Structure 1
Amino acid sequence: LLVYVDDLLAAGRSKAHLAELKTLLEKAFKLREISHVLKYLGLELIWDRSAQKIWLHQRGYIDKLQRRFLPEGPPRRSPKTPISVDAFKEMTFDDAELQGRTEEEYRQRVGSLQFAACTTRLDIAFACSKLASEQTVRSDQHWKELDRCIASLVGTRDVALELGGEATNLRLVGFADAGDRQSRSSTSGYIFTLSRAAILWASKRIKCVTFSSAESEYISAVEAGKEARKLRFLLAEYGLLNEDEPTTLYVDNQSAISVSEGMGLKGSLTHMERRYMWVQQMVARRKMKLQHILTNEQSADYLTKALHFPAFDQCFGRVGQVRLSAKGSAEGVSSGEE
């Protein structure tokens, strides 16, 4: 049972269970029932019961963003990626470019993008994180990157998350990465998938200063491990977790894996705080294991840095993001327009 203010969403194994829940709720509240949910809190749902799949998308929400922020219509050619590879590396300031544009308007646009990034559009999560971290600086480059992200989102308005289809193989898998070292504070990114579909993700700056890529990668794995523990509790409550099988977390740094396996803090990692070492306990108890993956196969790569289109598109297709046809059904994957 999901509750947000006065909006409730209930799911159950049988109609009898749902009817019983409805009866209990009606004793305390006046309900208006919608039996077949197509919209919920800004999300739109497409169902295929025969295939046991659901597609979550936000075409309606993105259309509202276009009318508000791109009243002249989307560009003829949408950007292939939501943020350029060289974003914010060289700041330029031009008051003529900023005429009539305020920091408040900048924050409004970033906030609107973040809602999409947190719900279905993980492909713009890094761009939103980067734009949000730069809110106090006004430059023409900030606005160009912000406009690029909006145009990219509008140009890919028909992208959805495909969930379900493999009820017998509900395996929780995580991917953790770190990158974008323009400063000592790196960016951490992680994704968790269930049946190869993304169910949880984040792209955020690591709060402490790191001195090596190994340290950044390990701290990113620690942050992902915290979420893995929560997800394991949730899946266990639903009876969907094999307690004897550790959750695999894929990382592309061998040093981070060595530390997680209890080989000690060596070399550049000797200064790390002990509070990061609880991952070793998770690994020792077979609740989680870190496994190496090649960088070009790392699904969390586009949550930690700006990528060129080929690498970005590969990440896009690994986590259940698909394109919807005009009729609403799922088609082949492609994340950008020419």
Structure 2
Amino acid sequence: MEGLDYIATFSPLAKLTIVRLLLALAAIFHWHLKQLDVNNAFLHGELDEEVYMNLHPGVPAVFPNQISESSITAILVYVDDIVLAGNNIEEITTVTNILDNAFKIKNLGNLRYFLGLEVARNSTGIHLSQRKYILDILKDCCMLASRPVATPMDYTTRLSTSSGTPLPDSSSYRRLLGRLIYLTTTRPDISYVVHHLSKFMSSPTTAHSQATFRILPYLKQAPGFSVYIGESLISWRSKKQPTVSRSSSDAEYRDLATNTCELQWLTYLLTDLHILFKQPTLLYCDNQSALQIATNQVFHEGTKHIDIDFHLVHEKVRSGLVKLLPVSSSQQLADIFTKSLSPSLFSDLSTKLGMFNLYSQLEGGS
């Protein structure tokens, strides 16, 4: 709108899921990974306002619209940080020079540290960790000398808004929890407890603070945990449903719909990169009733209250995007994101997620 929207600006932010996906593809296809930085990124604009123009038919494109069958270069942008991934180092160099002609670019070489994520690459794949980030948190909270614990949360603990006494100053609680939320970028094992404690962000108590500080000794025990990208996690989430479900099957069915949306988005993203799947994506569920609702095309009395948009699972199953499969509750990896578990079960699921202590292996020489 004239006189109103001219000063509206934004910075391009790649989702962290896309960052992990790109690294996964680089691990699978052995792509090169280079990192660039734009100097004074916000000083390159020459216009005071955005101007959109329609080109006349027949005007030649600035860049060729041909697609190479043998090479690919992907560009990931997060404000002024850029990651180039591709299978042809000469094309990556060409793209770097093009960007350097338009902006002043600093070439940081091979990707090693991006958005606080430490990237290590070897013959087995690409590993992500936030070791320095964890050590900084432990140091700031004076927890470097604390004794390690086996789980981030005692599975017998039950927290509520009335647990403990209100904190006189809740800013430190919010600050620490915010740092832990970002840590879940590479630490899915603490997603549940961090999400659970974030519910009390507005009025935290001493009990909530104690539970938050209990996470830190757990992080100290394994400061170098990493996710094995390529055959492991790309996207995960621990979030409370916005609606109240009438049954466990209802809740599971809604989760299936949410997961299907995520799978559809990732499929579209991979299609843009010309990576196609001939087989449907496998989606596992440990609730038989939810599976029956998702595969039964006849809506009945027990499902008429569910919003229509959640029934997209039917459409995606019929179209071949996803294939629903049952899984036993003891093998459901998603439980680590939804509930507090015993130390033995927690350790078992963490291992199955593909997490391991990268730094202990390096220190041990293996």
The answer as to 2:286 corresponding to 1:222 is no
Aligned pairs (5 A) from 1:1-338: 1-48=75-122, 50-51=123-124, 53-69=125-141, 71-76=142-147, 78-89=148-159, 91-94=162-165, 98=167, 102-117=169-184, 119-164=185-230, 195=231, 197-242=232-277, 244-266=278-300, 268-326=302-360, 328=362
Unaligned runs of 5+ in 2: 1-74
Given the superposition, is the C-alpha separation of residues 156 and 306 from structure 1 closer, same or farther in structure 2, using an over 3 Å criterion?
A: same
Q: Is the 8 A contact 1:59 1:158 kept in 2?
A: yes
TM-score (normalised: structure 2): 0.75
Cα RMSD (Å): 2.0
User: Which stretches of structure 1, 4 residues or longer, exceed 4 Å deviation after superposition?
Assistant: 329-332
One-letter amino acid of the structure 2 residue matched with residue 63 of structure 1:
L
- Quick one: distance in 2 between partners of 1:110 and 1:16? 44
- Quick one: distance in 2 between partners of 1:155 and 1:276? 41
Q: Is the 8 A contact 2:117 2:130 kept in 1?
A: yes
Secondary structure at the aligned position of 2:93 is classed as helix
One-letter amino acid of the structure 2 residue matched with residue 8 of structure 1:
I
| Alpha-carbon distance, 1:209 to partner | 0.6
| Alpha-carbon distance, 1:94 to partner | 3.8
Secondary structure at the aligned position of 1:135 is classed as coil
Secondary structure at the aligned position of 1:250 is classed as strand
Q: Is the 8 A contact 1:302 1:312 kept in 2?
A: yes
Query: Corresponding residue for 2:4?
Result: none
Given the superposition, is the C-alpha separation of residues 264 and 311 from structure 1 closer, same or farther in structure 2, using an over 3 Å criterion?
A: farther
Q: Is the 8 A contact 2:173 2:204 kept in 1?
A: no
Secondary structure at the aligned position of 2:163 is classed as coil
- Quick one: distance in 2 between partners of 1:4 and 1:129? 25
- Quick one: distance in 2 between partners of 1:330 and 1:160? 16
Secondary structure at the aligned position of 2:180 is classed as helix
One-letter amino acid of the structure 2 residue matched with residue 75 of structure 1:
S
| Alpha-carbon distance, 1:17 to partner | 1.2
Return the structure number with greater strand share: 1
- Quick one: distance in 1 between partners of 2:212 and 2:356? 24
Secondary structure at the aligned position of 2:227 is classed as strand
One-letter amino acid of the structure 2 residue matched with residue 14 of structure 1:
N
One-letter amino acid of the structure 2 residue matched with residue 10 of structure 1:
L
Secondary structure at the aligned position of 1:264 is classed as coil
| Alpha-carbon distance, 1:138 to partner | 2.9
Given the superposition, is the C-alpha separation of residues 264 and 79 from structure 1 closer, same or farther in structure 2, using an over 3 Å criterion?
A: farther
| Alpha-carbon distance, 1:272 to partner | 1.3
Q: Is the 8 A contact 2:144 2:220 kept in 1?
A: no
Given the superposition, is the C-alpha separation of residues 139 and 331 from structure 1 closer, same or farther in structure 2, using an over 3 Å criterion?
A: farther
| Alpha-carbon distance, 1:87 to partner | 3.2
| Alpha-carbon distance, 1:267 to partner | 5.5
Q: Deviations over 1:196-220 (max 9, x none)?
A: x101100000000111100111111
Secondary structure at the aligned position of 2:237 is classed as strand
Secondary structure at the aligned position of 2:270 is classed as helix
Given the superposition, is the C-alpha separation of residues 26 and 329 from structure 1 closer, same or farther in structure 2, using an over 3 Å criterion?
A: farther
Count of residues in correspondence between the two structures: 291
Given the superposition, is the C-alpha separation of residues 259 and 271 from structure 1 closer, same or farther in structure 2, using an over 3 Å criterion?
A: same
Given the superposition, is the C-alpha separation of residues 240 and 318 from structure 1 closer, same or farther in structure 2, using an over 3 Å criterion?
A: farther
| Alpha-carbon distance, 1:284 to partner | 0.8
One-letter amino acid of the structure 1 residue matched with residue 308 of structure 2:
R
Q: Is the 8 A contact 1:211 1:268 kept in 2?
A: no
Higher mean C-alpha deviation, range 197-206 or range 153-162? 153-162
Given the superposition, is the C-alpha separation of residues 295 and 152 from structure 1 closer, same or farther in structure 2, using an over 3 Å criterion?
A: same
Identity, % of aligned positions: 27
| Alpha-carbon distance, 1:231 to partner | 0.8
- Quick one: distance in 1 between partners of 2:121 and 2:322? 33
- Quick one: distance in 2 between partners of 1:13 and 1:329? 32
Q: Is the 8 A contact 1:158 1:324 kept in 2?
A: yes
Q: Is the 8 A contact 1:82 1:149 kept in 2?
A: yes
| Alpha-carbon distance, 1:261 to partner | 1.0
Given the superposition, is the C-alpha separation of residues 291 and 19 from structure 1 closer, same or farther in structure 2, using an over 3 Å criterion?
A: same
Q: Is the 8 A contact 2:177 2:212 kept in 1?
A: yes
